[in-house]
Amino acid sequence: GLIHPTSGRVLIDGQDMADKKVAAFARNQVGIVFQYPESQLFASSVNDDVAFGPRNMGLDSDEVDRRVAEALKIVGLDRATVGEMSPFDLSGGQQRRAAIAGVLAMEPKVLVLDEPAAGLDPRGREEMLDLIRMLHKTGTTCVLVSHSMADLARLCDRVLLMNKGSIVLLGSPAEVFSNPAVLHEIGLDMPPAQKMAFELREAGFELNRALYDDESLAEDLAAILNS
């Protein structure tokens, strides 16, 4: 509901977001994490920042407190250590986690993340991807907006490829990343392991999996080279 369509409709659970009541309902069902969520931090303490959304929902103080504690636990921040700290005294990675906790405290059914690992070092990136995996496993629908084909291949059940507002491909990662020519045409590439597997197939290697990551490619190559 932050941006209204100039044509067509946006539906959530089959209901049109043009209806103000539906839009209000959606804001409690869909959490949005922007590319640099740490820029959204503003309160004097981590506790207050995470509590902002639940308080605006009109929840009582006990429920707000429960949600703050649970959200900080989910993102791996120790409330006893950071709860009364200014969010601006946290490290960059901790700030991002605190900002995400503020979204999770509203207990959305759907979490939309825009380039969630942008700007993070390799360790921070892996920790962020692990967090997304965990949220998905516990029942939260996660929608990732990303230019990292490797992240999408590792994390997603379905991939929607768009170009200039139009759908190009929609399917499983294996289906989408089996179309290198289409990807190349719009300026994207296959995940590195999948690209290498594609090139090795062209060189005569019998690689039979539909989608490869680093581990599976190494495993199959080792089997071929040791046979």
Q: What would the mean pLDDT of 106-117 be, rounded to a whole number? A: 93
Distance of CA 75 to the CA centre of its chain: 13
DSSP-derived pairing of the beta strands 11-12 and 30-33: unpaired
**Whole-Å CA distances, 45 to 9, 48, 49, 60, 95:** 39, 5, 6, 19, 12
Mean pLDDT of 43-68: 95
Segment 88-105, tens digit of pLDDT:
999 888 999 999 999 999
pLDDT tens, 185-212? Answer: 999 999 999 999 999 999 999 999 999 9
d(CA 5, CA 52): 28
Query: What is the average pLDDT value for the chain, to the nearest integer?
Result: 92
pTM metric for this prediction: 0.86
